[in-house]
């Protein structure tokens, strides 16, 4: 390997465990892992490792014949994570000429399988041995992708980005934990010890907006560790919708494929100085694109459940969305619960914590910060001195002949409303203005509600489990008896199921 100026080049590298292998990645002339592990490795050592014997891997793609793949040293072979990502891609059906970019292609397994299904495939990898392996393995199966597989990736020069936009970007991301000890060279994979790689991809798409076609989706495979939890939060903060697509358990880790997309691309956002009710404004539109959003600075007749009056907070958020008519199949309480999960997600994102919609376990952190869902539709906040209503969610539907229109309304206080007893605002934990909140809330609603042709819907059981976790700390004396929610939003107790119409007084805990 040539070194500018001659002589022997040394690099400081990380030794990290990536996908069950011991790996290292060059990160510059000096870098430190958070445990202080710093190691120097020469280019000669890299050449020694990469010159070792290769291997043969046998891998079964979803719905295709078993493949025999040549795997050079330092190239990641297909494993359980590869199979999971391939399963998701196979679920999208035949490509019919649609375009796919695989980042970190390794041996080329997924690129080959996708090409055989009719996708127009592009691929890249920072490891030149992976590029060579992928090209060679493609030829074995009659897939000519030489000019469409290149060296590079997010963070590099833009030569790895296809000239024309793609419909899917797929990346089996590094999910890394430190184990120490040298075994492979820095070209083994593109892993860094942190989350930076997926953010580099986000930055690349932002810089090159034509890179992902309209209606396109980014599929990222990650682990259940901290970096995986942060991934969806960071993309959501940037205004992208995110949703779990599929998962599998691998030892004590859970691997998940998450979809990221631009929310409600066919919708418009209408901003009004004032109106009677943002829900009514959406109904006046008599349909329109899913995700159409009306926001008002002031409502003269805002309402909540049972036609109770909603008092607007100064500088607060008052908005309503046109939800896809198919949502009626989910039932009114699924819609209602998905609405407040959207708000929990938005507040989690701005506080840099895991999103509840991606795991019920993430509810713990937002609850620890004083947020509570008061069954069935209010979001409350407790600070050191007081508690109050932070947000209200209302779902309404109207039918005209065979046409059904569903509207989701969300009102969130920015400050305490003096005329309302026990009100509180998001200024307790954030300085975000309403304009800064809108893209995050919009993306969060899309994450729970948007009907996207390339993304499966949110499973009902996930909505119920997340909702119950978010509610259970406000059940008061009923808490020991409560063990879940049924599909109609009823609170299941050991002796009965309680509906929202029942007369129950909840004691704040």
DSSP letters along 121-173, please?
A: EEEEES-HHHHHHHHHHHHHTT---GGGEEE--TTS-GGGS-SS-EEEEEEE-
Predicted TM-score (pTM) of the model is 0.84
Task: Report the Cα–Cα distance between both ends of the chain, in Å, rounded.
Answer: 66
Could you tell me if 107 and 71 are in contact, meaning their C-beta atoms sit under 8 angstroms apart? yes
Structure-block tokens of residue 475 = 């059940």
Pair 219, 257: CB distance under 8 Å = yes
343 pLDDT more than 90: yes
Homologous superfamily of domain range 269-474? Bira Bifunctional Protein; Domain 2 (3.30.930.10)
Span 482-507, average pLDDT: 64
pLDDT value at residue 176: 54
Q: Between these two residues, 74 and 135, which has the higher pLDDT value?
A: 135
- State the pLDDT confidence band at 499, using cuts at 50, 70 and 90: low
Q: Where does the pLDDT of residue 507 fall: very low under 50, low under 70, confident under 90, or very high at 90 and above?
A: very low
DSSP 424-487: --GGGT----HHHHHHHHHHHHHHHH--BTTBPPPPHHHHHHHHHHHHGGG-GGGGGGEEEE-T
Percent of the chain with pLDDT over 70: 77
Give the pLDDT mean for 488-507.
60
pLDDT band at 94 (very low <50, low <70, confident <90, very high): very high
The H or E element that residue 197 is part of is helix 196-207
pLDDT tens for 383-424 read 777 788 889 898 888 887 778 889 999 999 998 877 677 788
Share of the chain above pLDDT 90, in %: 46
Q: Where are the domains of the chain?
A: 55-261, 269-474
What is the per-residue pLDDT across 147-185, written as a single tens digit (0 to 9) for each? 899 999 998 877 899 999 999 999 998 765 444 444 444
Kindly tell me if the per-residue pLDDT of 55 is higher than 90.
no
Q: Span 55-261: which CATH code?
A: 3.40.50.150
Q: What is the mean pLDDT of the chain?
A: 80
Asked if residue 348 has pLDDT above 50, the reply is yes
- Residue 38 is predicted with a pLDDT of 31
pLDDT higher than threshold 70 for residue 6: no
């Amino acid at each position: 390997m040539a070194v500018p100026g001659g002589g022997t080049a040394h690099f400081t590298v990380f030794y990290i465990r990536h996908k069950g292998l011991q790996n290292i990645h060059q990160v510059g002339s000096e870098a430190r892992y958070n445990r202080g592990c710093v190691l120097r490795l020469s280019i000669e050592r890299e050449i020694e490792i990469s010159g070792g014997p290769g291997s043969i891997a046998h891998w079964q793609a979803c719905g295709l014949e078993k493949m025999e793949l040549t795997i050079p040293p330092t190239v990641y072979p297909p494993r359980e994570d590869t199979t999971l990502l391939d399963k998701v891609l196979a679920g999208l059906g035949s490509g019919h000429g649609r375009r796919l970019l695989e980042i970190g292609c390794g041996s080329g397994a997924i690129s080959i399988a996708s090409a055989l299904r009719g996708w127009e495939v592009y691929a890249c990898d920072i490891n030149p041995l992976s590029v060579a392996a992928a090209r060679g393995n493609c030829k074995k199966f009659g897939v000519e992708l030489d000019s469409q597989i290149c060296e590079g990736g997010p963070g590099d020069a833009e030569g790895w980005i296809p000239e024309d936009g793609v419909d899917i970007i797929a990346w089996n991301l590094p999910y890394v934990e430190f184990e120490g000890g040298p075994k492979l060279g820095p070209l083994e994979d593109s892993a860094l010890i942190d989350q930076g790689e997926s953010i580099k991809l986000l930055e690349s798409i932002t810089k090159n907006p034509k890179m992902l076609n309209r209606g396109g989706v980014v599929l990222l495979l990650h682990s259940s560790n901290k970096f995986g939890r942060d991934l969806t939060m960071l993309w959501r903060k940037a205004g992208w919708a995110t949703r779990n697509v599929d998962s599998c358990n691998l030892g004590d880790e859970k691997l998940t494929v998450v979809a990221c997309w631009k929310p409600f691309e066919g919708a418009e956002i209408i901003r009004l100085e004032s109106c009677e009710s943002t829900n009514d404004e959406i109904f006046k539109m008599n349909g329109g694109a899913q995700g159409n959003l009306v926001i008002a600075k002031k409502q003269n007749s805002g309402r909540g459940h049972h036609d109770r009056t909603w008092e607007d907070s100064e500088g607060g958020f008052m908005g309503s969305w046109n939800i896809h008519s198919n949502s009626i199949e989910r039932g009114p309480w699924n819609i209602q619960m998905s609405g407040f999960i959207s708000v929990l997600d938005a507040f989690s994102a701005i506080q840099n914590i895991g999103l509840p919609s991606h795991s019920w376990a993430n509810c713990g952190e937002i609850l620890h910060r004083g947020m509570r869902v008061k069954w069935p539709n209010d979001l409350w906040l407790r600070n050191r001195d007081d508690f109050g209503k932070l947000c209200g969610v209302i779902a309404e539907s109207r039918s005209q002949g065979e046409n059904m229109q569903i509207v989701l309304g969300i009102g969130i206080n920015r400050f305490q409303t003096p005329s309302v007893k026990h009100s509180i605002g998001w200024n307790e934990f954030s300085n975000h203005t309403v304009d800064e909140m809108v893209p995050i809330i919009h993306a969060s609603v899309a994450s729970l509600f948007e009907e996207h042709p390339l993304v499966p819907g949110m499973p009902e059981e996930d909505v119920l489990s997340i909702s119950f976790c978010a509610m259970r700390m406000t059940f008061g004396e009923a808490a020991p008896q409560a063990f879940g929610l049924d599909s109609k939003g009823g609170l299941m107790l050991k002796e009965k199921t309680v509906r929202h119409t029942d007369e129950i007084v909840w004691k704040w805990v």
